[in-house]
């Protein structure tokens, strides 16, 4: 794998490395939203949402388009939705493994 691709992947995953950014991406996976809509859905301060959106924009994970004075945010690539789904499945696999380990420990 070439260095540029590795660097892209590292920067991309850094952009995802915050729980609020992940939650914003989950919301945007369901459809385009304004800052106020995202704020309302996730129950967070507008400034915090705006800061996290700025990071996601700077890493080209999301983009905003103007509709009058309102900015509507969207996923830049719909495959992000698939990535979040795969991450959830990995989490579920880890959870099943942990539960199995705990059950085995209990029976010993």
pLDDT in tens, 21-79: 999 999 999 999 999 999 999 998 779 999 999 999 999 999 999 989 999 999 999 99
Q: Tell me the pTM.
A: 0.83
Q: What is the CATH number of domain 3-76?
A: 1.10.10.10
Looking at 11-15, 46-50, 99-103, which range is the least confident one?
99-103
Domains of the chain by residue range: 3-76
Looking at 2-16, 55-69, 87-101, which range is the least confident one?
87-101
pLDDT for the residue 33: 97
Q: How far apart are CA 52 and CA 48, in angstroms?
A: 6
Categorize the per-residue pLDDT at 1 as very low, low, confident or very high, splitting at 50, 70 and 90: low
Q: How far apart are CA 75 and CA 56, in angstroms?
A: 9
CB atoms within 10 A of CB 36: 11
């Amino acid at each position: 794998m070439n260095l540029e691709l590795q660097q892209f992947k590292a920067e991309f995953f850094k952009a995802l490395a915050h729980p609020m950014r992940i939650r914003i991406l989950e919301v945007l996976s369901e459809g385009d939203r304004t800052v106020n809509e995202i704020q309302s859905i996730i129950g967070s301060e507008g400034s915090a949402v705006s800061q996290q959106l700025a990071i996601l924009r700077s890493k080209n994970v999301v983009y905003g388009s103007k509709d009058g004075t309102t900015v509507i945010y969207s996923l830049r690539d719909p495959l992000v939705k698939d990535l979040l789904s795969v991450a959830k499945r990995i989490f579920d696999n880890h959870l099943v493994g942990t539960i199995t380990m705990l059950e085995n420990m209990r029976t010993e």
